Structure 1
Amino acid sequence: MPRAYPPIPHDRKTHALSPSVIESVAGFTAGVVATLAVHPFDVLKTRLQLKTSQAQWGNSFRILRQITRDEGSYAALYRGLMPNMVGNSISWALYFLWYRNLKDAIQVYRGPNSNLTSLDYFASSGASGILTAIFTNPIWVIKTRMLSSGRNAPGAYKSMSHGIREIMRTEGPKGFWRGLVPSLFGISHGAVQFAAYEQLKNRRGGQLEGGKSELSNWDYLLLSGASKIFAGSITYPYQVVRVRLQTYDAERTYKGTGDAVKQIWKKEGVKGFYKGLVPNVVRVLPSTCVTFLVYENTKFYLPMWYGEEAAKYDV
């Protein structure tokens, strides 16, 4: 049965939230919740991606023990939480805002009775990802550097504001956009994921009794997880290259994106491009599922919480 909504007084309908506000709030909320849930896995993944010796490949438990033993306590697993939370919440808010508006623009262009194709979803997601990456790259540079070392390590940033000051002092404005090129290549990951997610949602909606398009929370969990695994299996290497280019000494170690790729290939082989993959899978699956579950539910219930008639905003 479709969800039933109470009638709304006429004077409250004039204060309806716009779809853009709903998308932004839903994305922001999803980013905050997901970051709090899986941040320690992000710390582990970053440390593994920075390992250059073959002997340390995949030794996740040893690194976790080292972090908690050498850096004070289990609180060390939440180092860099603030830039990670700020980055994820802002990124998802901007991403879903632009994604919604770009999809709407394509829908208007194609006509109200036409269905969007996988290419339409891919283009909307890709363009949204490019805009988001450009706006948020400075946050990810600081986050990567904070997660890559303990708080008391030589030269380590003490806080997000300290990182901003140090980058400006030592590298200038260009330092905030290190790793942007591989990040832009990584846009393909989000584009592939969203194209798969949209088509899986559409297919699942068509399978429901009576052709209803309303999905359950279990549907969102399974579909978001499946689309993430599919996209991640194709595009993971760019994340390793990006992290290498965003570390403290990247300017002295690598001449650019191409040089980083060559050095990883020469010194570490194919495995070098997949370091941190296991904890990344462990991290991104819960993170993705939580993100999409919180996003879809916030997007659905926010109009009701606000006091207006709940409307359907298709992803």
Structure 2
Amino acid sequence: MLQTEKNPPTIIEEDEEEFDYEALPKNTSLASNLMAGAFAGIMEHTVMYPVDAIKTRMQIVSKGGVSYSGISNAISRISATEGARALWRGITSVAIGAGPAHAVYFSVYEHTKQQFGGNEGTGYHPIATSLAGACATIASDALMNPFDVIKQRMQLAGHLYPNIAACATSIYRTEGFSAFYISYPTTLFMNIPLTALNFTTYEALSKFLNPQRKYDPLTHCIAGGLAGAVAAAATTPMDVIKTFLQTKGSSSDPEIRNTNSLVDASRVIYRREGLKGFMRGLRPRIVSNMPSTAISWTGYEMAKFYLYRSW
């Protein structure tokens, strides 16, 4: 009798130790992925925001504009002429938009990955992961794009707005509602391959570094950082074009202001700076994206792990 009574708890303990937190259980609500995604998004975009601001400054195409030789040079010059707070302008827009956008991003990713068979077995499913990442990008970018436009306008030198509401109102009055989405097609052209690279690289590195698929912040951080660096480097040319379109309304150059498509923007950049123009801001983009993606994945995995345990 004593032996019979002891057996059930032993079995339960083994089951609890072997749970797979990688996919939240089917009986949990959508709120779990929404909360995990929102937490990851806010962490990702706010921590490395000053470097992102430098990247935006370095990507601006203008005649006789301010140019920076590197990240350190940009920090010192911006701090000396505008104050250190200038590197944080527009962060409110990111904080407001990143939470909901990343909540949508990760929840769509988890749902579509399950639907495409990405959680079946223990093998690697790059096609399912890439498709899920693409679906997540389309949904989240539709929500985030206006906030990104406001953010980049506020990051520019010489364009001071008291708050994001004033910036949004100014853009709407002078350029119309379309200004908030003029870069959306370009953003998708950039973010779909970026997301595919990010997710597939992360999944591959995670399976290599952490074959047991247990919660391990160190391997999540390493895999996320490397995945972010690869994705950022590969998609920098499209990011330059996106920045061009999102900030053109602040330019005094008629040719830049009248550019309305990805193709037209590409022609202007190439004519003025050649192929090297498409790699503007490469270093700060990698420096920003590598830790921010590491933070995003680590934060998401942490939130997912603790949500699983508490659900």
CA contact (8 A) 2:233 2:285 kept: no
- In the other structure, the counterpart of 2:134 is 126
- In the other structure, the counterpart of 2:79 is 68
Equivalent position SS for 1:18 = coil
Shift of 1:70: 2.2
- In the other structure, the counterpart of 2:157 is 149
Deviation track 1:3-60 (CA, whole Å, cap 9, x = no partner) reads 968xxxxxxxxxx982521211111112222333211111111111115579936333
- Tell me the distance in 2 between the aligned counterparts of 1:70 and 1:299: 43
TM-score normalized by the length of structure 1: 0.81
- In the other structure, the counterpart of 1:260 is 265
Shift of 1:302: 2.4
Equivalent position SS for 1:191 = helix
- Tell me the distance in 1 between the aligned counterparts of 2:208 and 2:308: 26
Equivalent position SS for 1:56 = coil
TM-score normalized by the length of structure 2: 0.82
Taking a change above 3 Å as real, the CA distance of residues 98 and 111 of structure 1, as seen in their structure-2 partners, is: closer
Deviation track 1:204-234 (CA, whole Å, cap 9, x = no partner) reads 343xxxxx32142111111112222222222
Taking a change above 3 Å as real, the CA distance of residues 289 and 111 of structure 1, as seen in their structure-2 partners, is: closer
- In the other structure, the counterpart of 2:235 is 235
- Tell me the distance in 2 between the aligned counterparts of 1:277 and 1:17: 43
- In the other structure, the counterpart of 1:91 is 101
Counting matched residue pairs gives 284
Equivalent position SS for 1:254 = coil
- Tell me the distance in 1 between the aligned counterparts of 2:204 and 2:96: 30
Taking a change above 3 Å as real, the CA distance of residues 224 and 241 of structure 1, as seen in their structure-2 partners, is: same
In structure 2, which of residues 259, 278, 293 is the aligned counterpart of residue 273 of structure 1? 278
CA contact (8 A) 1:20 1:101 kept: no
What pairs with 1:18-167 in structure 2 (closer than 5 Å)? 18-52=28-62, 56=67, 58-71=69-82, 73-107=83-117, 115=123, 117-150=125-158, 153=159, 156-167=160-171
CA contact (8 A) 1:49 1:275 kept: yes
Show structure 2 runs of 5+ residues with no match: 1-12, 18-25
- In the other structure, the counterpart of 1:8 is none
What pairs with 1:243-258 in structure 2 (closer than 5 Å)? 243-247=243-247, 248-249=249-250, 252-258=257-263
Taking a change above 3 Å as real, the CA distance of residues 162 and 130 of structure 1, as seen in their structure-2 partners, is: same
- Tell me the distance in 1 between the aligned counterparts of 2:167 and 2:67: 28
- In the other structure, the counterpart of 1:221 is 221
Shift of 1:257: 1.3
Shift of 1:255: 3.6
CA contact (8 A) 1:58 1:276 kept: no
Taking a change above 3 Å as real, the CA distance of residues 205 and 64 of structure 1, as seen in their structure-2 partners, is: closer
CA contact (8 A) 2:215 2:301 kept: no
**Bigger CA drift: 171-180 or 111-120?**
111-120
Equivalent position SS for 2:213 = coil
Aligned residues with identical type, % of pairs = 27
Shift of 1:125: 0.3
